[in-house]
Chain A
Amino acid sequence: SQTIHQWPATLVQPVGSPLSLECTVEGTSNPNLYWYRQAAGRGLQLLFYSVGIGQISSEVPQNLSASRPQDRQFILSSKKLLLSDSGFYLCAWRGLYNEQFFGPGTRLTVL
């Protein structure tokens, strides 16, 4: 069966510091992968999606970036975090019937 992992689970970072969040999927090949951000427990905002290795589409201009170095690995990064980057970051993969399955999330607090 397919599983999706995210780490770390929680992260507290100072403003201006770099960021790297990792997402990996098991049990499927060449999935579409997605990064979302959720603020205040409501509404998911799509940040990036990837249809394959090295292919990244950005949905929202911001100081975040994403990379897909391997088929089942999706990384969200920032060179310098802003206060507004705080939130709950969710990775998802697309299933056979277009449904999306989410990972456990990373809670990021920027101080």
Chain B
Amino acid sequence: GESVGLHLPTLSVQEGDNSIINCAYSNSASDYFIWYKQESGKGPQFIIDIRSNMDKRQGQRVTVLLNKTVKHLSLQIAATQPGDSAVYFCADEAPGGKLIFGQGTELSVKP
């Protein structure tokens, strides 16, 4: 069945460094991918999305890269700040508009 997984459960970075969070997906027909940020006790917050006809998309301090050949997705955060500390989820869209979420990577930013 379809699954979305993250390579690492935790990631610790120094403030000011760049962060890279990785995600693998299994469904080669997946067309749409989203990254979410979830702070403790809050609902997930939409960060950025990308469709399969693109391999890169940039937002404010964030970049999502999509490698369809190896079914890999990554989120890059530039100049990581303490406010970036959270759990980050990738998700891909299954038939019917449902999202399949990965298990999350916890990002910790050291001052």
* Number of inter-chain CB pairs below 8 Å: 50
Other than the given A41-B87, A43-B103, A100-B99, 18 more pairs (CB < 8 A) read: A34-B98, A42-B103, A43-B102, A43-B104, A44-B101, A46-B99, A49-B98, A59-B98, A90-B44, A94-B97, A98-B93, A100-B34, A102-B36, A102-B44, A102-B45, A104-B42, A104-B43, A105-B43
* B40 within 8 Å of A (CB atoms): yes
Using a CB-CB cutoff of 8 Å, which residues 52-111 of chain B contact chain A?
87, 89, 93, 96-99, 101-104
- On whether the beta carbons of A42 and B41 are closer than 8 Å, the reply is no
Name the interface residues of A46-76: CB closer than 8 Å to any CB of B. Answer: 46, 49, 57, 59
Interface residues of A (CB under 8 A from B): 32, 34, 41-44, 46, 49, 57, 59, 90, 92, 94, 97-105, 107
Known contacts: A44-B89, A44-B101. The answer to whether A103 contacts B49 by CB under 8 A is: no
Residue of A nearest to B45 (CB): A102
Query: Which residues of chain B come closer than 8 Å to A49, judged between CB atoms?
Result: 96-98
Give the dominant DSSP class at A's interface: strand
Residue from A32, A34, A44 having most chain B Cβ neighbours under 10 A: A44
Tell me if A102 and B43 are in contact (CB < 8 A): yes
